[in-house]
Each structure stands twice: as structure tokens, then as C-alpha cells.
């Protein structure tokens, strides 16, 4: 099956049932996978920083670097291709932190906070949430089935699409 890799600060959407969207090594970055089981379209984004105001130029060039501009772009692309908000399944992973309690490097927590606010404002719910801790994660979304997996330190957890909503 063709893997389609989402690099850091990048996003992809797909409607090809054979595709597996994958993003590797989410540390404090957040990875968001969204899926509409009716039209079978999925999207994935790998954001490294919370807010675009830290570097407006970069946000123009690479909106997916930031949670705010990236989510906005991905959602508008998905809605344009026929995805409906009410049907979206949303899985979120990453947002980890290094061992310190120190505030300076709590980028993961800030990423997740901004993401949660954006979802909340749009009345969207997270179906899967695997965030925090001091581990890095790799996530996959199978476009044909909506299956979502999180792999970390050799263990993989599968989340199947809920059968009926």
C-alpha cells in the first residue's frame, strides 16, 4: 500500500482508498488526522508550533507549520472536497514534552492547547486523543477504512472507526 508521508510542517489530504497517510516522530509537535467515513476522505497535518504570530512570513510560506494557520488550511481544503463537519472523526497525537517542568520548552502543551481551542470553537470533538508524556509517536491513517494507529517505542495501538454513530 502506498504510504504518503507528511513531513514536519506539512499536510496532505487523500481520497484514494489504498493510501496510508503517515507522519513520523511527533515529539511536542501535534499530529491531527481527520476522516469523513461517508465520502472516505482523510487528511493529516504535522504542526510544530502553536501560533503563527511568532513568524508571520513563515506562516505565509508554510501555513502547516503552525497549529492555527495549518488547521484552518486543512479544514478548508477538506470542506471544499465535500467533507462535512458533522461526520468528521478526529484523532490527535503528540504534544509530548521533555523531562523538565520548565515552562520554556513546553511547546507540546501549548500546541495542544491551541488545537483544543480551535476544535472547540468549531464544535468539533476529538474521537482519539493520545497526547503528552515524554515519548515520541508515529501515526497512520488508512484512507480506505478510517483506521488510525499510534506507534511509540515499539508498541502500536489501533483505533478502528466506530461502527455506528
Residue number with CB closer to another protein (42 or 108): 108
Stretch that binds another protein, among 76-84, 121-129, 130-138, 141-149 (CB under 8 A): 130-138
> By CB under 8 A, which span of 12-20, 57-65, 76-84, 114-122 interacts with another protein?
57-65
Q: Which of 138, 144, 146 is nearest to 88 (CA)?
A: 146
- Lookup: cell for 66: 503552525
Cα 39 to Cα 18: distance, rounded to the nearest angstrom: 14
Mask for 9-48, x = binds another protein (CB under 8 A): x---------------xxxxx------------------x
Task: Give min distance, CB of 112 to another protein, in A.
Answer: 13
Residues 6+ apart with CB under 8 A from 78: 13, 34, 36, 41, 43, 88
> Interface with another protein includes 73 (CB under 8 A)?
no
**Selected binder of another protein within 1, 38, 135, 157 (CB under 8 A):** 135
Q: Is-contact 110 102, C-beta < 8 A?
A: no
Amino acid at each position: 500500500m502506498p504510504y504518503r508521508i507528511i513531513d514536519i510542517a506539512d499536510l496532505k489530504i487523500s481520497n484514494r482508498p489504498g493510501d496510508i497517510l503517515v507522519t513520523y516522530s511527533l515529539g511536542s509537535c501535534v499530529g491531527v488526522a481527520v476522516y469523513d467515513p461517508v465520502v472516505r476522505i482523510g487528511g493529516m497535518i504535522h504542526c510544530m508550533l502553536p501560533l503563527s504570530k511568532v513568524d508571520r512570513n513563515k506562516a505565509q510560506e508554510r501555513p502547516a507549520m503552525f497549529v492555527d494557520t495549518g488547521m484552518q488550511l486543512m479544514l478548508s481544503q477538506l470542506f471544499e472536497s465535500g467533507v462535512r463537519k458533522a461526520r468528521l472523526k478526529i484523532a490527535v497525537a503528540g504534544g509530548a514534552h521533555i523531562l523538565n517542568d520548565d515552562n520554556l520548552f513546553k511547546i507540546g502543551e501549548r500546541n495542544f492547547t491551541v488545537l483544543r481551542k480551535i476544535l472547540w470553537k468549531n464544535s468539533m470533538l476529538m474521537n482519539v486523543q493520545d497526547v503528552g508524556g515524554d515519548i515520541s509517536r508515529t501515526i497512520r491513517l488508512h484512507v480506505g477504512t478510517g483506521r488510525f494507529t499510534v506507534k511509540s517505542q515499539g508498541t502500536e495501538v489501533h483505533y478502528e472507526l466506530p461502527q455506528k454513530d
